[in-house]
């Protein structure tokens, strides 16, 4: 299938023209290619892969009888957006908690009173698979409408295997049926069930659940990453390390919650274990950030959550200057109902102090890097997937 994407005024790319680079760093520059007066740009694709791009006249002369032509009407093209951190499979809602937060209740106060994650676990456990799939489908289609072409999706509202397996089945069905790339993350260590403790449940996850994840993978289920809520009052450093190492032993990428509410040493753990990514990092120490830089671990920053929970924003500038690739995510969940990566990019600039260039890279190539996918998505370059977003404007001001 040969497709021509034509009549483009501007192509905004996060990597230079023919780059095979897999991340965007502080010294990199976004490349803006604008057509001259009276001319336009075009992108050629072959079976969904970019084969070339440049001046439209030249591109059209090289492609006889294309199977499909997409007219961008003089618009601006950017890489498809990538949401690097979401919790999209759950039932019920937590609207009642919003008033509590407005009155000053903290995240952990709500959690310890039986609300938060464990409340959603009870609602999700009671929902059947068809209901959960329909809810997930609706949410993912909403993300697509906002320009997201790749998304990381976590389990985590089951905790015990029977429900976690159900969530994995739902995510695998969505991966096969919906027009969006999905990176699936196993997160049974999202909270500690009410009938046990963190130490015992850690052993349960390691000895019972992760071997079952391995069995599913051998049955051709897709599971890409392992996550744990490494936080004071949830899973400590030793417990988190044990779960993550068990996941790593079956081939999963380490991609976990770290240092959101307190400095537990999560960033240091990410560096020590060679994690692919660590998320949140509002309270990460300079030593932890340095450890992440040394190991090539990405920082996934989530400005919606910091804003809604009134947390101190993560030190994005210090993280970037330390040499850590910064990705962005919506953290979509019942506590932060945001489907829009453009809103996240805006908040990254206004609340985290990132530049528009850095925000675009964080929502494209660096988000892909955090998911170990940047060799095939995240930029408009030859050989990568033709995941693009067409904006109804003739230019994108980012400088």
Higher pLDDT, 43 or 117: 43
Q: Does 375 reside within a domain?
A: no
- Does 68 lie in the same domain as 184? no
- Does 112 lie in the same domain as 39? no
- Does 295 lie in the same domain as 174? yes
pLDDT at 1: 92
Q: Does 107 reside within a domain?
A: yes
Cβ count near 366 (within 10 Å): 29
Longest dimension (CA), the chain: 69
Q: Does 398 reside within a domain?
A: no
Q: What CATH number does residue 29 fall under?
A: 2.30.40.10
Q: How many structural domains does the chain have?
A: 2
| Confidence band of 5 (pLDDT split at 50, 70, 90) | very high
**Percent of all residues in the chain with a pLDDT value above 90, rounded to a whole number:** 81
Q: Does 106 reside within a domain?
A: yes
- Distance CA(319)–CA(331), nearest Å, equals 19
- Does 45 lie in the same domain as 193? no
Q: Which of 86-95, 102-111, 387-396 has the highest mean pLDDT?
A: 86-95
- Distance CA(50)–CA(200), nearest Å, equals 49
Q: Does 101 reside within a domain?
A: yes
Higher pLDDT, 153 or 37: 153
- Does 93 lie in the same domain as 65? no
Range of the domain at 55: 2-79+380-391
Distance between first and last Cα of the chain: 36
- Distance CA(40)–CA(24), nearest Å, equals 27
Average pLDDT, the chain: 93
Choose among 389, 391, 371: nearest CA to 380: 389
| Confidence band of 399 (pLDDT split at 50, 70, 90) | very low
- Distance CA(230)–CA(196), nearest Å, equals 17
Q: Does 274 reside within a domain?
A: yes
- Does 92 lie in the same domain as 70? no
pLDDT tens-digit map of 278-300 = 999 999 999 999 999 999 999 99
- Does 163 lie in the same domain as 91? yes
Q: For 162-179, what is the mean pLDDT?
A: 99
**Percent of all residues in the chain with a pLDDT value above 70, rounded to a whole number:** 96
- Does 104 lie in the same domain as 27? no
Q: Does 397 reside within a domain?
A: no
Is 323 exposed, middle or buried, given 0-12, 13-18 or 19+ CB atoms closer than 10 A?
A: middle
- Does 187 lie in the same domain as 293? yes
Q: Does 67 reside within a domain?
A: yes
Q: For 136-160, what is the mean pLDDT?
A: 99
Higher pLDDT, 34 or 1: 1
Choose among 214, 305, 224: nearest CA to 260: 305
| Confidence band of 335 (pLDDT split at 50, 70, 90) | confident
- Does 86 lie in the same domain as 17? no
pLDDT tens-digit map of 174-233 = 999 999 999 999 999 999 999 999 999 999 999 999 999 999 999 999 999 999 999 999
Q: What CATH number does residue 96 fall under?
A: 3.20.20.140
CA 197 from chain centre, in angstroms, equals 29
- Does 256 lie in the same domain as 336? yes
- Does 260 lie in the same domain as 305? yes
Interhelix angle 161-177/210-218, rounded to 10 degrees, is 30
């Amino acid at each position: 299938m040969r497709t021509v994407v034509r009549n483009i005024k501007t192509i905004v790319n996060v990597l230079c023209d023919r780059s095979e680079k897999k991340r965007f760093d502080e010294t990199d520059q976004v490349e803006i290619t604008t057509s001259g007066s009276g001319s336009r740009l075009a992108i050629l694709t072959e079976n969904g892969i970019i084969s070339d791009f440049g001046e439209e006249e030249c591109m059209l002369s090289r492609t006889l009888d294309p199977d499909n032509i997409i007219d961008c009407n003089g618009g601006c093209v950017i890489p498809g957006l990538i949401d690097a951190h979401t919790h999209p499979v759950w039932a019920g809602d937590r609207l009642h908690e919003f008033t509590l937060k407005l009155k000053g209740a903290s995240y952990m106060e709500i959690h310890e009173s039986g609300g938060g994650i464990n409340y959603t676990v009870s609602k999700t456990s009671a929902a059947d698979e068809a209901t959960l799939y329909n809810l997930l489908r609706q949410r993912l289609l909403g993300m697509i409408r906002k320009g997201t072409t790749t998304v990381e999706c976590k389990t985590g509202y089951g905790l015990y295997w029977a429900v976690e397996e159900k969530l994995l089945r739902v995510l695998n069905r969505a991966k096969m049926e919906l027009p969006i790339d999905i990176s699936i993350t196993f997160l049974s260590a999202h909270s500690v069930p009410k009938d046990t403790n963190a130490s015992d449940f850690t052993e349960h996850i390691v000895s019972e659940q992760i071997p079952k994840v391995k069995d599913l993978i051998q049955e051709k289920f897709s599971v890409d990453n392992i996550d744990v809520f490494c936080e004071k009052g949830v899973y400590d450093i030793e417990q988190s390390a044990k779960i993550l190492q068990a996941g790593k032993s079956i081939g999963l990428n380490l991609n976990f919650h770290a240092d959101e509410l307190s400095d537990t040493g999560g960033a240091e753990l990410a560096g020590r274990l060679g994690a692919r990514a660590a998320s949140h990092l509002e309270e990460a120490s300079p030593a932890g950030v340095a450890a992440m830089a040394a190991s090539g671990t990405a920082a996934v920053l989530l400005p919606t959550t910091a804003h809604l929970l009134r947390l101190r924003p993560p030190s994005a500038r210090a993280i970037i200057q330390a040499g850590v690739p910064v990705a962005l995510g919506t953290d979509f969940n019942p506590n932060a109902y945001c489907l829009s990566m453009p809103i996240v990019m805006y908040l990254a600039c206004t609340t985290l102090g990132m530049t528009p260039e850095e925000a675009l890279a964080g929502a494209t190539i660096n988000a892909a890097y955090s998911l170990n996918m940047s060799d095939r998505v995240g930029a408009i370059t030859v050989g990568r997937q033709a995941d693009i977003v067409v904006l109804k404007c003739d230019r994108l001001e980012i400088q």
